Amino acid sequence: MILKYKHGGKPWTEWNEYKRYKKLENYSTLNFWSFIQYQFFTQWEELKDYANAKGIKIIGDMPIYVSMDSADVWCAPQYFQLSQNFIPEKVSGVPPDCFSPDGQLWGNPLYRWEVMEKDNFSWFANRFKHMFEMFDIVRIDHFRGFSAYYSIDYGEKTARKGEWVTATGEKLFSLINIKFPNAQVIAEDLGNIDDNVKSLLDMTGYPGMRIAQFGFYQKDSTHLPERYPSNCIAYTGTHDNMTARQWAKSLPKKTLRYFRKKVKKGVFEKDSYALIRSVLESKALIAIIPIQDYLNIGQKGRINTPSTMGNNWKWRLKPNYKKIEHKIANIKKVFN
């Protein structure tokens, strides 16, 4: 951060030099950033202790990739697919699907798995150690990328052109499970899932994810609540999905009829509550229901729309939300 400020906030790849200074001239600035870190982690530990004392566990999200302009890449460029000039050779993303015709071009630098393996995955081991210290449960984002990752040439404008490349996730998670035998992990196994991903998930023993909103577009979907295995974490929808109310309103008539039939919706039951009930009645190890769905909030309650910027992560549950305690009390009666 000292060097970043010295270079006007530019990415580290645009600095005059890439290496750390052998001698820092301004120790007061160093102390400032050290104090900021100290304050954050002190406050975080107090918050976590408070939540745990109330019987609440905190799930932390661990993205598979890190930003190019990060301390991670700056300090250890040997673990990433970069040229000698620190320009990415290949970048991350996912191919086109029914939700995104151009795919998703994330642009993160990809790992050099063979280099990480030779170093006994020390970079990932340290990262997991830190995550397990900060959170009660760690959700691994884009778990399928540890089986095979989608590789796109740097400079491409979309994710249409790319290829799947095998990763060494089995060796990595064998090590992680040995080092952290009591850690609680959720594998976000969504997207293009093949037999190799399923095999990796089975090997780790981690619960995967099921999204009820995905379960009613085709027969015998793995996301259909009645088909959930016990070793999974079930959601009505995640932070990337519509709220249950918005989702139900968006369904074509034929799909809506199929949904209502499969969940045995009551005559006076709201669609959002029928979806919630189907998740709670499933065999899933844990059911996670967004508060927006419990409160039957529509489009205004959506947290994030993938591949868009500007209006995401802004929704907040206000302390003075109208009659919230009364609503929650009535909801508990419904689901009890």
Q: Which residues are catalytic?
A: 141, 188, 240
Task: Name the token pair of 122.
Answer: 């020390």
CA distances from residue 54 to 45, 58, 230, 272, 295 in whole angstroms, order as listed:
14, 11, 26, 28, 22
CA distances from residue 167 to 65, 81, 196, 310 in whole angstroms, order as listed:
13, 13, 11, 33
Task: Determine contact, residues 195/148, Cβ cutoff 8 Å.
Answer: no
Q: What is the DSSP letter of 80?
A: B
In angstroms, rounded to a whole number, what is the distance separating the alpha carbons of residues 58 and 136?
A: 5
277: closest CA among 264, 286, 290?
264
In angstroms, rounded to a whole number, what is the distance separating the alpha carbons of residues 48 and 313?
A: 21
Q: Please report which residue ranges of 180-220 form alpha helices under DSSP H.
A: 195-204
